[in-house]
């Protein structure tokens, strides 16, 4: 990214921040605003800052073992980042588990770099006070699958099993409001207040929703990972908190990713 | 082989695989159901007011999850009767409160998430899912429009009672309805539910606008 582009992006960010504040009390035209905003930054999504930060983190030796992540195997062989996200989650022989991008990054950071797992999972999401290394790394990795076809496999029995469990979690109603993911995401053309809800039982909806995450959120001024997206929907579902990169979240991701297969991966995206 | 024959073969192959997976299904399904429950109980933790035991299902939640909201008629009737039995009707026999307080409650989307504070009282979240007052354009559409609700139904006592019952526990009327059980789950108090009944039925409420053009919408 050259300097003039960078300056322009910063300007756009400032504009967006004021726009977002305004949008809070004028939600009626949220989608128009986001469209206008998309136009403005058509040649630069602020998520690029995270992609750059993630790339540096990937290449820089770190942790007690002072190692980079360049030997991390995301499923396409050690160090191969290109196209890796378009085939995740998948089964990994070394851990004997189905892993999504973030749980796999967690494995690499603990095994290759020797960073204690608890140090990463204590605060896995970015806040305006502190960026998240694992989120930045994820943003970098997904950027290397841009434009590729989502092709997540269910050939391995464990992959098939994760998909089936994910589907069950999607429909699992509980909590004080009796909500499941399906309460909000299994009917077409409905919305909560003014926010349109994708119907994950419909291919086209699942594809456009899934393939646009992770995403830079204008209202928060932060790039958000897919684990964050699930976490915040479980919050709205009035559930307790899903453990970061847990089997439940990976299975659910598997279900959604397979539902989105065939989409051209378009992340990191840009959202309200 | 012509196209029709090919199609016939394709159809029978598909049918065969459907029956096969349905047969293989039941035993595998039970195993997967059990594993799902095990994973859910293990992978969630307390956060703020949202405690881990919220993932434990009652009979109704379990049935609606299992049958994807399409429970067999006999079970549906049983579940609805059990929910209806637990409705606590107002002791004073009055169902209507203050529609203005009801409108405030309907607007509030607060409540019961882990980011809500223990001292925050939950709102009704009604506008999240329903159109109510003609003036509020930021309404959700998961539930039916309730605009003109009272105008269409009147304010007879049986209507008041039915609305009170729906808000207290919509599952007493339709077991797997996508509407929370506000009274049953202790989200709203009796007085709050009465205010919401008034919002829907009171002729003065903005849900029942007097001017004909709004009414037509």
Task: List pLDDT tens digits, range B14-38.
Answer: 444 443 344 445 888 999 999 999 9
Predicted confidence (pLDDT) at residue B6 exceeds the cutoff of 60: no
Domains, chain A: 1-44 (no CATH), 157-271 (1.10.760.10)
Helix, strand, or coil here: A67? Answer: strand
Given a contact cutoff of 8 angstroms between Cβ atoms, the answer to whether B114 and B54 are in contact is: no
> How crowded is the C-beta side of A123, counted as CA atoms within 13 Å?
8
User: Catalytic site residues of A?
Assistant: 233
For residues A175 and A168, what is the distance between their CA atoms, to the nearest angstrom? 16
Contacts B57 to A, Cβ<8 Å? 172-174
Taking CB atoms and an 8 Å cutoff, what residues of chain B touch A246?
Answer: 39, 42-43
Token pair recorded at residue A56? 């540096």
Q: Which residue has the tokens 């092709």?
A: A151
Instruction: Using the predicted structure, report yes or no on whether residue A1 has a pLDDT greater than 50.
Output: no
| Burial environment of residue A86 by CB neighbours within 10 A (0 to 12, 13 to 18, 19 or more) | buried
Cβ distance B202 to B99 under 8 Å?
yes
Options 1.10.3720.10, 3.60.15.10, 1.10.760.10, 3.40.640.10; CATH for B99-216 is 1.10.760.10
Nearest to A236 among B42, B53, B113 (CB): B113
Angle at A24 between CA A20 and CA A26, to 5 degrees: 105
**pLDDT value for B27:** 87
Closest to B65 (Cβ–Cβ): which among A171, A192, A247? Answer: A171
Its pTM stands at 0.90
Q: What does the alpha-carbon distance between residue A119 and residue B90 come to, in Å, rounded to a whole number?
A: 52
Chain B partners within 8 Å of A171 (Cβ): 65, 68
What's the pLDDT band for A34 if we cut at 50, 70, 90? low
Q: Per residue in A150-177, pLDDT tens?
A: 999 999 999 999 999 999 999 999 999 9
User: Angle A157-170/A247-259 helices, nearest 10 degrees?
Assistant: 90
pLDDT (tens digit per residue) in B47-86 = 999 999 999 999 999 999 999 989 999 999 999 999 999 9
Mean pLDDT for all residues in chain A? 90
Sign of the CA dihedral running B18, B21, B23, B26: negative
Q: Report strand pairing: A222-224 vs A195-197.
A: unpaired
Minimum-distance CB partner of B55 among A27, A190, A240: A240
Q: What percent of chain A has pLDDT over 70?
A: 84
Q: Is B174 exposed, middle or buried (0-12, 13-18, 19+ CB in 10 A)?
A: middle
Q: What is the pLDDT of residues B123-159, one digit of tens each?
A: 999 999 999 999 999 999 999 999 999 999 999 999 9
Contact B111, B98 (CB under 8 A): no
Among B87, B34, B85, B88, which residue's Cα sits nearest to residue B62? B34
ipTM: 0.91
- Cβ-Cβ contacts under 8 Å for A51 (sequence gap 6 or more): A136, A139, A140, A143, A268
Contact assignment for B43 to A174 by CB distance below 8 Å:
no
Kindly report, residue by residue over B87-126, the tens digit of the pLDDT.
Answer: 999 999 999 999 999 999 999 999 999 999 999 999 999 9
pLDDT in tens, A175-198: 999 999 999 999 999 999 999 999
Place of tokens 């077991």: B175
C-beta of residue B105 within 8 angstroms of C-beta of residue B195: yes
């Amino acid at each position: 990214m050259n300097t003039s582009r960078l300056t322009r992006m910063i300007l756009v960010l400032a504009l967006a921040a004021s726009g977002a504040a305004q949008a809070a009390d004028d939600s009626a035209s949220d989608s128009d605003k986001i469209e206008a905003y998309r136009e403005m930054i058509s040649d630069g999504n602020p998520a690029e800052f995270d992609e750059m930060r993630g790339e540096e983190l990937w290449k820089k030796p770190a942790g007690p073992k002072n190692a980079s992540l360049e030997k991390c195997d995301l499923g396409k062989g050690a160090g191969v980042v290109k196209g890796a996200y378009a085939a995740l989650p998948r089964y990994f022989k070394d851990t004997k588990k189905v892993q999504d991008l973030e749980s796999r990054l967690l494995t690499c950071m603990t095994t290759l770099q020797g960073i204690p797992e608890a140090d990463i999972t204590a605060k896995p999401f970015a806040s305006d006070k502190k960026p998240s290394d694992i989120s930045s790394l994820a943003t970098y990795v997904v950027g290397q699958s841009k434009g590729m076809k989502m092709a997540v496999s269910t050939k391995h029995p464990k992959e098939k099993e994760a998909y089936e469990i994910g589907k069950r979690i999607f429909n699992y109603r509980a909590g004080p409001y009796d909500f499941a993911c399906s309460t909000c995401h299994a009917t077409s053309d409905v919305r909560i207040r003014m926010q349109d809800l994708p119907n994950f039982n419909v291919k086209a909806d699942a594809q456009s929703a899934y393939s646009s995450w992770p995403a830079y959120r204008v209202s928060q001024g932060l790039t958000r990972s897919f684990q964050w997206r699930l976490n915040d929907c479980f919050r709205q579902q009035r559930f307790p908190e899903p453990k970061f990169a847990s089997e439940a979240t990976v299975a659910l991701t598997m279900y959604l990713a397979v539902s989105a297969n065939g989409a051209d991966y378009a992340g990191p995206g840009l959202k309200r | 082989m012509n196209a029709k024959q090919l199609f016939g073969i394709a159809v029978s192959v598909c049918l065969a695989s459907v029956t096969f997976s349905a047969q293989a299904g039941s035993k595998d399904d039970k195993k997967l159901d059990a594993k799902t429950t095990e994973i859910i109980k293990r992978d969630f933790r307390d956060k703020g007011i949202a405690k881990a035991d919220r993932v434990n299902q009652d009979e109704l939640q379990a049935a609606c999850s299992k049958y994807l909201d399409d429970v067999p008629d006999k079970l549906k009737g049983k579940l609805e009767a059990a929910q209806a039995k637990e409705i606590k009707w107002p002791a004073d026999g009055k169902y209507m409160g203050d529609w203005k307080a009801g409108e405030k409650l309907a607007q509030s989307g607060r409540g019961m998430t882990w980011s809500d504070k223990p001292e925050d009282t939950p709102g009704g979240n009604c506008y999240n899912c329903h159109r109510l007052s003609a003036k509020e354009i930021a309404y959700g559409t998961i539930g039916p429009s309730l605009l003109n609700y009272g105008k269409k139904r009147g304010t007879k006592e049986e209507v008041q009672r039915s609305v009170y019952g729906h808000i207290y526990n919509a599952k007493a009327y339709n077991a797997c309805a996508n509407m929370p059980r506000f009274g049953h789950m202790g989200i709203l108090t009796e007085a709050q539910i009465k205010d919401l009944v008034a919002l829907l039925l009171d002729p003065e409420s903005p849900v029942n606008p007097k001017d004909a053009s709004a009414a037509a919408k």
